[in-house]
Amino acid sequence: MTETVSTRAPLSPTPRSTLTRLRERAASDRAALDAVLDAGLICHVGVLMHGAPVVLPTAYGRLGDTLYLHGSTGSGNLRAALTGDVSVSVTLVDGIVYARSVFHFSMNYRSAVIHGRPVEVTDERERLRALRAIVEHNAPGTWDYVRGPNKKELAATVVLSLDLTEASVKSRTGAPGDEQDDLSSPSWAGVLPVHQFFGTPITAPDSITEQAPAHVIARVAPAS
Amino acid sequence: MTETVSTRAPLSPTPRSTLTRLRERAASDRAALDAVLDAGLICHVGVLMHGAPVVLPTAYGRLGDTLYLHGSTGSGNLRAALTGDVSVSVTLVDGIVYARSVFHFSMNYRSAVIHGRPVEVTDERERLRALRAIVEHNAPGTWDYVRGPNKKELAATVVLSLDLTEASVKSRTGAPGDEQDDLSSPSWAGVLPVHQFFGTPITAPDSITEQAPAHVIARVAPAS
């Protein structure tokens, strides 16, 4: 399932696909899937609304074999996500691939695509675990540092779980895949790396504590 | 249409929406839409396949009021995109918003969502303009620097155009929106900025030219 592709499209379509049944393969695929999910900040969720797909960015968290999403009880998109299959995509762009021809221009990337029917999480303990996973995914060290959700806030929150069984991972790494005839071209060929990093924390004007805590400071470094 | 939101979900759902007919408003909205599209590297396209949405990352380009996508003639996803409405989402994550409560954790972001029915571009001149827009979007200065597409490569490429009329832009900026009761909390509140930048170019082992050209070197700087 995990593969290095060198195709024309900068990011190649990942067909809707099921995880192979071979255990060994599945183990490495799952590790690759988890690695992409754990490295991403946001996902794009596709839901069906009025017969057409709607793609929206949102936060997520992962615990074992489950992806968690959350949102407001008033969200029409979340309601739509509970009435049919969804597609969740997490993509990390690692580089721009400069080829010697327009046709072979590409990107290096890691991409995970998950399909399935989300289920609303109703068990209060699982809801808390899921919300913790989502918050800790985007802001490690936070759950125990700030005020937890109260009853009113929990009542306003919908939590969805999505099984990671039907998922695929694709990636592209390395140099451009130019045509043999173009290898003598004087055009520079190579990769321009794309990095994401966290900058210097900006303290809110009304924050009593001026200095960001260690769990925030620790993130200020190249992150990918 | 452009709005600063401070909601519970890190990235709030953008409802499928039409551009307002008011000209003045539309102008500023279009400028905001164009700014997000021009700043993004990839989009996530949602298509309907076998009755369920499939979300995939891909490259894109913009010329005026048109978004262009491309891919292989063998791509089932592109074919699916021509048989019904699609949803295209471009999201830029600008920061992690650290609130004094779990409930108000959020993200700063800019998000564009476009809906519409893509059309296959068949006019050869428009196809070339579109491919140029896509390549120049991800690698400015490239089209005139490398070998252009030949007949065989063009025959293997499908180009789609999507009108930008039905689109929405959302963004969140600034400090966390905590509850009044939490403002006396000793928990640090603020924003951890997220930046994307291009690293030092990596020359391909078989590149005749060792030094990356000016149009590549010029990108090596914080990009967002």
ipTM (interface predicted TM): 0.88
DSSP letter string, A14-37: ----PPPS-HHHHHHHHHHHHHHH
Contact A102/B at CB under 8 A: yes
Which residues of chain A does B70 touch, with a Cβ-Cβ cutoff of 8 Å?
9
Which residues of chain B does A115 touch, with a Cβ-Cβ cutoff of 8 Å?
52, 54
* pLDDT recorded at residue A131: 98
* pLDDT recorded at residue B26: 55
Segment B148-163 mean pLDDT:
97
Least confident of A27-41, B8-22, B201-215: B8-22
Point out which residues pair with A90 in neighbouring strands: A112
Smallest CA-to-CA distance from A94 within A223, A200, A215 is with A223
In a domain, B69, yes or no: yes
Tokens of residue A136, six digits: 């800790």
The answer, yes or no, to whether residue A95 has pLDDT greater than 80, is: yes
Task: Classify each residue of B115-125 as buried b or exposed e, where b means 16 or more C-beta atoms within 10 Å of its C-beta.
Answer: bbebeebeeee
Which residues of chain B does A187 touch, with a Cβ-Cβ cutoff of 8 Å?
145-147, 209
In a domain, B179, yes or no: no
* pLDDT recorded at residue A24: 52
The answer, yes or no, to whether residue B201 has pLDDT greater than 70, is: yes
Contact A96/B at CB under 8 A: yes
Residue A96's contacts (CB-CB under 8 Å, 6 or more residues apart) are A105, A107, A108, A191, A192, A194, B41, B138, B139, B198
The answer, yes or no, to whether residue B66 has pLDDT greater than 90, is: yes
* pLDDT recorded at residue B161: 97
Residue B122's contacts (CB-CB under 8 Å, 6 or more residues apart) are none
Are B13 and A41 inside 8 Å of each other by CB? no
In a domain, B216, yes or no: no
What tens digit of pLDDT does each residue of A119-145 get? 999 999 999 999 999 999 999 999 999
* pLDDT recorded at residue B22: 45
Contact B173/A at CB under 8 A: no
- The total number of structural domains in chain A stands at 1
User: Is the Cβ–Cβ distance between B14 and A44 less than 8 Å?
Assistant: no
Domain range spanning residue B88?
15-174
Looking at per-residue pLDDT, the higher value among A22 and B107 belongs to B107
Are A58 and B189 inside 8 Å of each other by CB? no
In a domain, A192, yes or no: no
Smallest CA-to-CA distance from B158 within B81, B78, B43 is with B78
The answer, yes or no, to whether residue B80 has pLDDT greater than 60, is: yes
In a domain, A167, yes or no: yes
Point out which residues pair with A196 in neighbouring strands: B196
The answer, yes or no, to whether residue A8 has pLDDT greater than 50, is: no
In a domain, B198, yes or no: no
Distance CA B148, CA A102 (A): 5
Q: Is the dihedral of CA B214, B217, B221, B224 positive or negative?
A: positive
Q: Write the single-letter amino acid at A152.
A: K
- Mean model confidence pLDDT for chain A: 88
Q: Is A110 helix (H, G, I), strand (E, B) or coil?
A: strand
Q: What percent of chain B has pLDDT over 70?
A: 86
For A90, list phi and psi in degrees, rounded to 5. -120, 125
CATH number, domain containing residue B78: 2.30.110.10
* pLDDT recorded at residue B1: 31
In a domain, A31, yes or no: yes
In a domain, B181, yes or no: no
**Confidence grade of residue A33 (pLDDT, cut at 50, 70, 90):** very high
Contact B18/A at CB under 8 A: no
